[in-house]
Copies of this chain bind each other. A is one copy, B any other.
Amino acid sequence: MTDTKQRLLDGTLTVLGAQGITGVSARSIAAAAGVNQALVFYHYGSLDVLLATACREATRDRVAAYAERFEAVSSLRELLRVGRDLHAAELRAGNVSVLAQMLAAGQHGGRIADTTAEAIQLWVDEIEKVLDRLLADSPVAEIADIPGLARAVAAAFIGVELYEGVNPEGADRALASLDQLAVLVEVVDELGPLARRALKSRIKKVTR
């Protein structure tokens, strides 16, 4: 990967973070990268390809950077904790909501949509592994589709990232309330075997 190609990828993330998808252009990206505008097309052929590549690489990097922390997660509250740390770190780095911006841009098919779906899947896979591990013995696993739950968690996280952009206090409050809720989930999950058996039988009755 030549220096310029990489600078263009970095520049893409910079612009997405600083101005959002509406601020993206070959010129704005090249300016952020400190290179000539024509090089966007020389190296990537089109803006779409550059955007898609930047999204894919950035997501791969972030997922890899957080893989260890995901592996160490041993409760739902910790999973939320990792999510909040991730959120805070991205905020500081200015890389906020790159995925969210790409999602908005990719609502109508095409390369951007495909790439964004793949990028989200990288996160979903990580979350799914964690949920599999955490919920294996839980009543939750009896009734809920874990891969579906992982998708819900990823989508919800992206929604909060976007919400943060227009209402930081509201987003913090939302995350705090989820943390409080996670306490309840853990308490339920730590019920003794007797209560748990009662719970499972009730679940069976309701879902039958």
Contact = CB atoms under 8 A, between A and B. Distances in A.
A150 to B, nearest CB: 8
Interface string A180-196: 11011011101000010
Contacts of A195: 195, 198
A134 interface: no
Given A104-B100, A145-B176, A158 B152 contact: no
A58 interface: no
A129 to B, nearest CB: 16
Contacts of A199: 187-188
A contact face: mostly helix, strand, loop, or mixed: helix
A145 B177 CA distance: 5
A173 B159 contact: no
Given A152-B174, A177-B144, A165 B107 contact: yes
B174 A148 contact: yes
Contact of A148 (B20, B101, B157, B173): B173
B20 A166 contact: no
B104 A166 contact: no
A60 B58 CA distance: 37
Contacts of A174: 148-149, 151-152, 155
Interface residues of A, number: 68
A170 B175 CA distance: 23
Interface string A133-168: 000000110011111110110111111101101110
A165 to B, nearest CB: 4
Interface in A60-118: 96-97, 100-101, 103-108, 113-114, 116-117
Given A104-B20, A199-B188, A206-B187, A148 B177 contact: yes
Interface of A: 18-23, 96-97, 100-101, 103-108, 113-114, 116-117, 120, 124, 139-140, 143-149, 151-152, 154-160, 162-163, 165-167, 170-171, 173-178, 180-181, 183-184, 186-188, 190, 195, 198-199, 202-203, 206-207
